[in-house]
Amino acid sequence: MSLQQSTIFDTNNEFPWVSIQTTIDTNTGLVVSTRTLFDIGNEVIATFENGILVRDINLGTIETVGFTSRVTEYDVNGQPTSIGTVYADDLRVTESFENGIRTQTLLRDGFFGDGAKAWAEITLTHDAEGNIATRMTKLDNGLISLDIFLPGVSETRYDYSQTRNWEFIDTKFDGNGTRLSENVIFDNGVVQMTDFEDGVRISSERSDIADVFNWETITTSFDFDGVITERETTFDNGTQRFELFDNGTRSETVQLDNVDLFGNPPLDGGAKPWEEIITRYDFDGVISERETTFDDGTQRFELFDNGTRSETVQLDNVDLFGNPPLDGGAKPWEEIITRYDFDGVITERETTFDNGTQRFELFDNGTRSETVQLDNVDLFGNPPLDGGAKPWEEIITRYDFDGVISERETTFDDGTQRFELFDNGTRSETVQLDNVDLFGNPPLDGGAKPWEEIITRYDFDGVISERETTFDDGTQRFELFDNGTRSETVQLDNVDLFGNPPLDGGAKPWEEIITRYDFDGVISERETTFDDGVEKVEQFEAGLLIATTEEDVFDFKVWDTKSTTFDEDGNVSVKAVVFDDDDVTYEVFETGVLSAFLEIDADGLDDQGNPSWGVRLTEYGSDGPMTTTYVNPLDLTAEYLDFLSMDFV
Report the first-to-last Cα separation within the chain, whole angstroms. Answer: 143
* CA 259/CA 275 separation, integer angstroms: 8
Q: What is the DSSP string of 114-130?
A: -SSSSEEEEEEEE-TTS
Decide: helix, strand or coil at residue 639.
Answer: helix
* CA 18/CA 41 separation, integer angstroms: 9
Dihedral over Cα of 366, 367, 369, 370: its sign: positive
Letter for the amino acid at 642? D
Dihedral over Cα of 118, 119, 125, 130: its sign: positive
Buried b (16+ CB within 10 A) or exposed e, 241-275: bebbbeeeebbebbbbbbbeeeeebeeeebebebb
Report yes or no: 598 and 589 within 8 Å, Cβ to Cβ: no
Report yes or no: 320 and 349 within 8 Å, Cβ to Cβ: no
Q: What is the DSSP string of 135-177?
A: EEEEETTS-EEEEE--TTTEEEEE-TT--SSEEEEEEEE-TTS
Report yes or no: 207 and 194 within 8 Å, Cβ to Cβ: no
List Cα–Cα distances, 528 to 129, 490, 504, 535, in angstroms: 120, 10, 18, 6
- Going from N- to C-terminal start, the domains of the chain cover 558-648
Rg (CA), the chain: 51
Q: What is the DSSP string of 11-64?
A: TT--SSEEEEEEEEETTT--EEEEEEEETTS-EEEEEEETTEEEEEEEE--HHH
Cα dihedral value 19, 25, 30, 32, nearest 10: -50
Q: What is the DSSP string of 201-217?
A: EEEEEEEETT--SSEEE
* CA 471/CA 410 separation, integer angstroms: 20
Q: What is the DSSP string of 614-629?
A: SEEEEEEETTEEEEEE
* CA 397/CA 409 separation, integer angstroms: 6
pLDDT for position 334? 93
Helix %, strand %, coil % of the chain (to 5): 5, 55, 40
* DSSP code, position 635: G
Please name which of 400, 378, 401 lies closest in space to residue 388, comparing C-alpha atoms: 378
Please name which of 446, 442, 483, 479 lies closest in space to residue 462, comparing C-alpha atoms: 483
Report yes or no: 216 and 238 within 8 Å, Cβ to Cβ: no
pLDDT for position 292? 97
Please name which of 483, 642, 476 lies closest in space to residue 565, comparing C-alpha atoms: 642
pLDDT for position 649? 44
* CA 586/CA 595 separation, integer angstroms: 11
* CA 30/CA 536 separation, integer angstroms: 132
Q: How many other CB atoms are there within 10 angstroms of residue 119's CB atom?
A: 19
* CA 36/CA 14 separation, integer angstroms: 15
**Mean pLDDT of residues grouped by 10 in the chain (649 residues)?**
89 92 92 93 92 92 84 91 88 90 90 80 84 82 78 68 79 78 89 93 94 95 96 95 97 91 78 95 97 94 97 89 81 95 97 94 97 87 83 96 97 93 96 82 82 95 96 94 97 79 82 96 96 95 96 93 94 95 92 93 60 84 88 82 65
Report yes or no: 629 and 615 within 8 Å, Cβ to Cβ: yes
Cα dihedral value 317, 321, 324, 330, nearest 10: 0
* CA 527/CA 552 separation, integer angstroms: 14
pLDDT for position 346? 98
* CA 516/CA 500 separation, integer angstroms: 22
